[in-house]
Amino acid sequence: MKIDVVTLFPEMFGPLDVSIVKRAREAGLLELRITDLRNYTHDRHRTVDDRPFGGGPGMVLKPEPIFEAIEDLAKDKTHVVLMTPAGRRFDQALARELSAKEHLLFICGSYEGVDERVREALVDDELSIGDYVLTNGGLPAMVVIDAVTRLLPGALGDDESARDESFSHGLLEYPHYTRPAEFRGMKVPEILLSGHHAEIEKWRAEQAKARTAQRRPDLWKRSGGQEPATD
């Protein structure tokens, strides 16, 4: 997979130089390029924003540098994504959808946002990671890139790990335990020590359902379960 990011703050993307994303890049599974939007300006001040028509607070990213950047970086199969609070709510299903794309190109909004003509003419998808406001689209883009990279075949070493994580089946993940079998009086459930793999899988499925119903009733309902009982 190839991923391009257009941002005003390329120095923010250091976290993508460690852990899973770094290993995916080193293994040749992911080609990642971070581009400074100011590279596509033509004045000595490298101006990327201006006051909004109609008045109001803040500044808006100008269309010219964004159009030039996308037209330079995008290819025939590029999927252009605008990170914006007005976008679709990002989740594991969307991560899996994006992981099938050959080339993702992220536009990171800043200030009051981007000129609407960018969205109308260039953007294939608009994503949000939650109902809150961040300083710019850099952090949300990194969240999406990390989630997508984990789903690339070979990125985790064991592809079963990605299939078995929270949200992969619409539920939260079951509880995990490791050695020692008893710690400060807290014991690992006996079923996990039994060696009966079918029973262990059954217990894990039950735990995932119970945890989801209790902690995320919205997910439980979407998965086909019923609203959990309340006292």
- 187-221 pLDDT per residue, tens: 999 999 999 999 999 999 999 999 989 998 988 99
- Find the CATH number of the domain harbouring 201: 1.10.1270.20
| CA–CA gap between residue 128 and residue 11 (Å, rounded) | 21
Which of 92, 116, 149 corresponds to the end of one domain? 149
pTM above 0.75, yes or no: yes
The residues that bridge with 31 in the sheet, in sequence order, are 2
Domain assignment of residue 80, yes or no: yes
Question: Which of 149, 181, 211 corresponds to the end of one domain?
Answer: 149
Alpha helices in the chain (DSSP H): 19-26, 63-73, 92-99, 116-122, 138-149, 159-163, 197-215, 217-222
Same domain, residue pair 125 and 177: no
Using the 3D structure, point to which of 149, 181, 213 is the last residue of a domain.
149
Q: Is residue 229 part of a domain?
A: no
> Do 122 and 211 reside in the same domain of the chain?
no
Q: Does the pLDDT of residue 227 top 70, yes or no?
A: no
The whole domain housing 70 covers 2-149
- Which tens digit of pLDDT belongs to each residue from 17-30? 999 999 999 999 99
Smallest CA-to-CA distance from 140 within 131, 151, 129, 149 is with: 129
Q: Are residues 63 and 120 in the same domain?
A: yes
Tell whether the model's pLDDT for residue 73 goes beyond 90: yes
**3 state SS of 222:** helix
Structural domain total, the chain? 2
Same domain for 118 and 76: yes
Q: Do 98 and 209 belong together in one domain?
A: no
pLDDT of 224 reads: 85
